[in-house]
Amino acid sequence: MTVYESEEDFIPTSDDRSMPIAATLQDLLIVSLISVPLQLIATDLSLGSVLGGLLALYGLCAVGLVLTKYVPFYLPSVAWISLVGIALTLPFWPWFDWFTGVVDGIDFLALAVPPLAYAGLAISKLEIDVMRRSGWKILIVAVLVFVGTYVGSAAIADFMLSVTS
Amino acid sequence: MEAMKKLASLWPIHLIVLVTAIIAQLIGVRAIPIGIGTILLLPLLFAFVFALALNPNVIKPIASVLSTKRVAAASPLIVIAIMPFIAKFGTTIGPAIEQVIEAGPALLLQELGNLGTILIAFPVAIWVFRMGRESIGAVHSIAREPNIAIIADRYGLRSAEGTGVVGVYVMGTLFGTFIFAILASLLATAEVFSIEALAMACGVGSGSMMAACAGALAEANPGASDTITALSGASNLLTYATGMYVSLFIALPLVEKIYVKVRPDDPGNKRTANVEESAR
pLDDT digits (tens, 9 = 90+) for B194-219: 999 999 999 998 889 999 999 999 99
Indicate if A74 and A137 belong to the same structural domain: no
pLDDT above 80: residue B3: no
Rg, C-alpha atoms of chain B:
21
Residues 126-165 of A with CB under 8 A from B: 127-128, 130-131, 133-134, 137-158, 160-161, 164-165
Q: Residue B221 — φ and ψ, nearest 5°? A: -130, 70
Mean pLDDT, chain B, integer:
89
Assign B81 a pLDDT band (cuts: 50, 70, 90). Answer: very high
Domain that includes residue A151, residue range: 133-165
Q: Between residues A97 and B189, which one has the greater pLDDT?
A: A97
- Report pLDDT digits (tens) over B223-279: 999 999 999 999 998 888 787 888 889 999 999 999 999 999 888 887 765 555 444
Same domain for A74 and A21?
A: yes
**Do A62 and A111 belong together in one domain?**
yes
Instruction: Give the whole-angstrom CA distance, residue B40 versus residue B139.
Output: 27
- Between the alpha carbon of residue B75 and those of residues A1, A4, B10, B64, the distances in Å are 7, 10, 12, 20
| Structural domain contains residue A128 | no
Within this chain, do residues A137 and A103 fall inside the same structural domain, yes or no? no
Neighbours of A38 (CB within 10 A): 26
Taking the CA of residue A115 and the nearest CA in chain B, the distance in Å comes to 5
Same domain? A100 vs A139? no
The pLDDT confidence band at residue A5, using thresholds 50, 70 and 90, is low
Cα distances (Å, whole numbers) of residue A75 to A71, A81, B122: 9, 10, 32
B189 pLDDT tier (thresholds 50, 70, 90): confident
Contacts B237 to A, Cβ<8 Å: 79, 82-83
Q: Is B28 exposed, middle or buried (0-12, 13-18, 19+ CB in 10 A)?
A: middle
Mean pLDDT, all residues of chain A? 90
The tally of domains found in chain A comes to: 2
Query: Are A32 and A99 members of one domain?
Result: yes
Instruction: Answer whether residue A74 is part of any domain.
Output: yes
Residues A99 and A28 in one domain: yes
One domain, residues A141 and A112: no
- Closest Cα to residue B87, out of A51, A32, A23, A69? A32
Q: Is A101 helix (H, G, I), strand (E, B) or coil?
A: helix
In 3D space, the residue among A87, A61, A45, A112 whose CA is nearest the CA of residue B214 turns out to be A112
Amino acid at A146: F
pLDDT (tens digit, 9 = 90+) per residue, A9-34?
777 665 777 778 899 999 999 999 99
Chain A, 58-77: which have a CB under 8 Å from a chain B CB? 58, 60-61, 64, 75-77
